[in-house]
Amino acid sequence: MNNIVNSLQKNNLVKEILAWKKRRDAVILAHVYQPGEIQDIADFTGDSLFLSQQAAKTQAKIILFCGVQFMAETASILSPKKIVLLPEINAGCPLADMAPAEKVKSKIKELPEVVVVSYVNSSAAVKSLSDYCCTSANAVQIAQAISAEKDILFLPDMNLANYVAREAKRKIIPWSGFCPTHHLLTKEEVVKMKKLHPQALLLVHPECRPEVCDLADYIGSTRGIINFASNNQVKEFIIGTELGILYPLKKNNPNKIFFSASNNMICPNMKLITLEKVLYSLQNMVFQITVPEEISRKSLIALNRMIEIT
């Protein structure tokens, strides 16, 4: 009985959201780490750059970003004339917070010769101090486009930095940040899962520790993991990234089995977004994410350099 009441309430909530979306002329974006019910109401789901690029292409006046702050900032930089809403203002990113702009500025002063590459998971202020932006899908390609003579200051994720150094064969100075959700996954947990599911392939995100990546059959971004699993003949996969990705993986591959490498791989910030908050956001036009003009202009240079290379 409770289930029926809940599902009726949810259906009404979804209807209200869709009505408000139309009224506001909004497009709804959901990152693949979002809860399944949020991914279901979105016009686009995917990684942060793909979503921001889709939003920039649409005619919609409002971008409602179901994700975390740096993603909404990126959308605002790529669509400066549109209103960008984040349904939960406290949905931050601890990895981005590990590289405060002031500290990055002093590091760059210390190392004036370096090329600065910042991962999309960084604040707009940090992007504006960077020569290039990158995502986990294109970080290796971006590093390879930089002369091997140059040292690269790569921030904020040290695990991604080490992976890029190895794959791109570039000298990289890693910033010492990490994503708690990915960094917490241990080699022991992965070994245990592999023993439990010996037929399964292990697919991990490069934000995981190097010793975890060493055990993987595939290392890649969220988009890479989804493509790899969908196009592979193998039927079982152990997934080493945030649990939300299991939703599109299972939905798009009903004949395959997906296990999370660890049930602790949950980003609490991503899970702050709820259907109720999405509705409130559209009704009240909150929370509007803006990026100061000068920061936006400089960040766009770093983002466009990445887009040109890829």
Q: Of 48 and 262, which has the nearer Cβ to ligand CIZ?
A: 48
Inter-helix orientation angle 2-24/275-284, to 10°: 30
Closest CA to 219 of 157, 266, 156, 167: 167
Q: Of 241 and 281, which has the nearer Cβ to ligand CIZ?
A: 241
What is the rounded (10 degree) CA torsion for 240, 246, 249, 250? 130
Per CB under 6 A, the list member of 76, 121, 122, 138 interacting with ligand CIZ is: 121
CA of residue 9 relative to chain centroid, distance: 30
Q: How many CB atoms lie within 10 A of CB 168?
A: 19
Per CB under 6 A, the list member of 47, 88, 131, 157 interacting with ligand CIZ is: 47
Q: Is 89 helix (H, G, I), strand (E, B) or coil?
A: coil
Fill in the amino acid letter for 277.
Answer: K
- Per CB under 6 A, contacts with ligand CIZ among 207-226 are 221-223
Q: Does 135 bind ligand CIZ (CB under 6 A)?
A: yes
- On whether the CB atoms of residues 289 and 85 are closer than 8 A, the answer is yes
Q: Does 181 bind ligand CIZ (CB under 6 A)?
A: no
The span of 34-42, 45-53, 272-280, 296-304 binding ligand CIZ (CB under 6 A) equals 45-53
Q: Of 13 and 56, which has the nearer Cβ to ligand CIZ?
A: 56
Fill in the amino acid letter for 91.
Answer: A
Per CB under 6 A, the list member of 45, 136, 138, 269 interacting with ligand CIZ is: 136
Q: Of 122 and 128, which has the nearer Cβ to ligand CIZ?
A: 122
> Where does this chain bind ligand CIZ (CB under 6 A)?
31, 47-49, 120-121, 135-136, 205, 221-223
